[in-house]
Structure 1
Amino acid sequence: MTQDAFLTEGTLVEHLGITFSEQSGQKVVASMPVEARVHQPFGILHGGASVVLAETVASIGAYLNVRERGMVAVGLEINANHLRSVASGTVTATGTPIFQGRTTEVWHIEIKNEAGKMVCVSRCTLAVIVPPTR
Structure 2
Amino acid sequence: MGEQRTTKFPQDIIDEFAALGVDLPALFSAGHLGQRMGVEVLEASAERVVGTMPVEGNTQPYGLLHGGASAVLAETLGSIGSMLHGRSAKIAVGVDLNCTHHRGVRSGLVTGVATPVHRGRSTATYEIVITDEQDKRVCTARLTCLLRDAKPGDASQAPGAAYGSGVRAEGA
| Same structural fold, with TM-score higher than 0.5 when normalized by the shorter chain | yes
The structure, 1 or 2, with the larger RCO (C-alpha pairs under 8 Å, 6+ apart) is 2
* 1:13 alignment counterpart: 34
Task: Report how far residue 21 of structure 1 moved.
Answer: 1.6
* 1:64 alignment counterpart: 84
Task: Report how far residue 114 of structure 1 moved.
Answer: 0.2
- What letter matches 1:21 in structure 2? L
**In the superposition, relative to structure 1, how do residues 43 and 28 fare at CA in structure 2: closer, same or farther (>3 Å)?**
same
* 1:96 alignment counterpart: 115
* 2:55 alignment counterpart: 34
Unmatched tracts of structure 2, length 5 or more: 1-5, 8-22, 158-172
From 92, 95, 114, give the equivalent of 2:133: 114
TM-score (norm 1): 0.91
* 1:43 alignment counterpart: 63
* 1:80 alignment counterpart: 99
From 22, 31, 46, give the equivalent of 2:43: 22
Checking the alignment, whether the CA contact within 8 Å between 2:30 and 2:41 is kept in structure 1 is no
Moved over 2 A (4+): 1-5, 7-10, 130-134
Task: Report how far residue 79 of structure 1 moved.
Answer: 0.5
TM-score (norm 2): 0.71
Percent identity between the aligned chains?
42
RMSD: 1.8
Classify the secondary structure of the residue corresponding to 1:123. strand
CA distance in 2, matches of 1:41, 1:130: 42
Classify the secondary structure of the residue corresponding to 1:38. coil
CA distance in 2, matches of 1:115, 1:9: 24
Rg larger in structure: 2
Unmatched tracts of structure 1, length 5 or more: none
Classify the secondary structure of the residue corresponding to 1:11. helix
